Structure 1
């Protein structure tokens, strides 16, 4: 397996009408979840990806499993829980570049993940383990599961990739900061945004944050700075890789997951670090052009077309 990731996927409902969600009478149903988004993104780019989780033994859980199977994501490590539901969330697009999200995931099946659910052989036979700061926020057993997954993966020299993906609504700040710093220390590669770096270290300058993450234990840091692009930092070099300006952002949700998928894809294709970040920027930009968490995740040909246009003032 190229990449394995662990986390919760949910059913996403979005109003078909504009305005406040309180006035909506019809909704579209789609699938979303940071880790499964990354798995889908990698599969569409031609890589082998696996997603580990628990789903409710309900219609929503069955829908998620069928969708991910259809996207060529390996779901052999997904189990069903007949005592807990599949999580759901609602997206409320208010204005351009402004979307509010409401989660209903407390007590979900995924929050019941425990270390005993892990398949050690599966984790030890992957090149990269991708984790986020969302899964450990779901429950204490989820936190234990993530740290155990890291321990198992490291036994075989698997590279650990960590996206902080801070969700302050899911846990208290002290626990969040302590846990995310521990995960950043364990990771080989960290993919933070500036706001997440500021939350963890109290610093907002990207250059200083890059060095702080390196000093904390990471070998590679890729710092997302929005439309400007992303910096990468190693102990030997650093650079800003320009982004792809998007004239019309349809839906920003999932862009960071697309970025992670694009970056991992670049590493799997053995690109230079700067080229991998450029691919990540391209995938992230393409995701914002389409409504839905996974709908905008591109196939390889689309990414290559956009990369060939790099330097134009506006993508769309």
Structure 2
């Protein structure tokens, strides 16, 4: 640190080195410094819940085999970024129950920092029941209203760690859960923006949680804070008229984001960044489970942002992560690690 002008060593103070004064025999040994974890590269907050997923097609009935797991949009992005080599932190609430313990243990096992997570002794962790009604049709039922994930509040945020991160990622799911969860997301984007942290916003509209009108109003307030916005074409129509994907993406950037990414499913994706439009084909794979593909895509894109990659490479990595995700059952289980990218990445999938 530079000394302020006009200051120096006062004339009555000697600059000669002094002999060290021995410590009294009774003096305690100095305490070891408490290690401080470095801030995460990615900070995110949201809901995570247990998942009971049918293994075989058909209606749920007594004795039907189920696979137990857990999921959450923001948690999936945190895992994807962590597997690709960047520190990620997740903040949320779980119940003080077996499901909550499973969620937190799973995130820790994936290297995600959950020091900001809280447990709720009075309410349980939410549950997603996933039924494979036919071989190619999923039916999902959520049990989440008033449960632990919806108790997220602004006071749960570690604003110091948030301000020290490089990317804040939020979705349109969490603001729909409750007034306090909405306030937490709104506070997070304000803190991030003030600190110069890149704000990533995935619209992720869920019609079961709220109406399009309410979603448009609330999420429309978040959009100007975003540096990167992700949406599907239908989600984008919350804010802009239906049009060609590149025109819709360009219209989204007029709200403030420097980059607008449209996820087009089997047709790939495109991003408008400044005056440029980049298009990415989907990676051809055998789809096993489509759930979680959008979050996997986002995790790849944000990991590439943290890598310092150009936009075209961000899209490429995003497409690879989405392809890995849909080729494995579960929301996040199929997310790739760096060493695995070559399994699908040998193809020239950009144009």
Instruction: Give the TM-score normalised by structure 1.
Output: 0.95
Q: Which residue of 1 aligns with 2:73?
A: 34
Q: 1:16 to 1:47 in 2, by over 3 A?
A: same
Q: 1:25 to 1:305 in 2, by over 3 A?
A: closer
Q: Which residue of 2 aligns with 1:156?
A: 195
Aligned with 1:182 (options 218, 221, 232): 221
My pick for the range that moved more, 64-73 or 93-102, is 93-102
* Structure 1 counterpart SS, 2:170: strand
Give 1 or 2 for the bigger CA radius of gyration.
2
Instruction: Give the TM-score normalised by structure 2.
Output: 0.85
Q: Which residue of 1 aligns with 2:171?
A: 132
Does the Cα contact within 8 Å between 2:57 and 2:135 map onto a contact in 1?
no
Once residues 258 and 87 of structure 1 are traced to their aligned partners in structure 2, the CA distance between those partners, rounded to angstroms, is 22
Aligned with 1:49 (options 88, 91, 96): 88
* Structure 2 counterpart SS, 1:201: coil
1:295 has 2:333 as partner: yes
Once residues 300 and 36 of structure 1 are traced to their aligned partners in structure 2, the CA distance between those partners, rounded to angstroms, is 19
Q: Which residue of 2 aligns with 1:219?
A: 258
Once residues 54 and 24 of structure 1 are traced to their aligned partners in structure 2, the CA distance between those partners, rounded to angstroms, is 31
Q: Which residue of 1 aligns with 2:9?
A: none
Q: Which residue of 2 aligns with 1:203?
A: 242
Once residues 171 and 85 of structure 1 are traced to their aligned partners in structure 2, the CA distance between those partners, rounded to angstroms, is 22
1:77 has 2:116 as partner: yes
Once residues 16 and 96 of structure 1 are traced to their aligned partners in structure 2, the CA distance between those partners, rounded to angstroms, is 11
Once residues 24 and 93 of structure 1 are traced to their aligned partners in structure 2, the CA distance between those partners, rounded to angstroms, is 15
Q: 1:99 to 1:70 in 2, by over 3 A?
A: same
Aligned with 1:93 (options 113, 132, 138): 132
Q: 1:109 to 1:236 in 2, by over 3 A?
A: same
Which one has the bigger helix percentage?
A: 1
Gaps of 5+ in 1: none
Does the Cα contact within 8 Å between 2:190 and 2:225 map onto a contact in 1?
no
* Structure 2 counterpart SS, 1:17: coil
Residue 94 (structure 1) shift: 3.1
Residue 24 (structure 1) shift: 5.3
Does the Cα contact within 8 Å between 1:12 and 1:88 map onto a contact in 2?
yes
Residue 281 (structure 1) shift: 0.5
Q: Per-residue CA shift, 1:241-293, capped at 9, x if unaligned?
A: 222122x2100000011001100111111111011111100100110000011
**CA RMSD after TM alignment:** 1.5
Gaps of 5+ in 2: 1-39
Aligned with 1:280 (options 293, 315, 318): 318
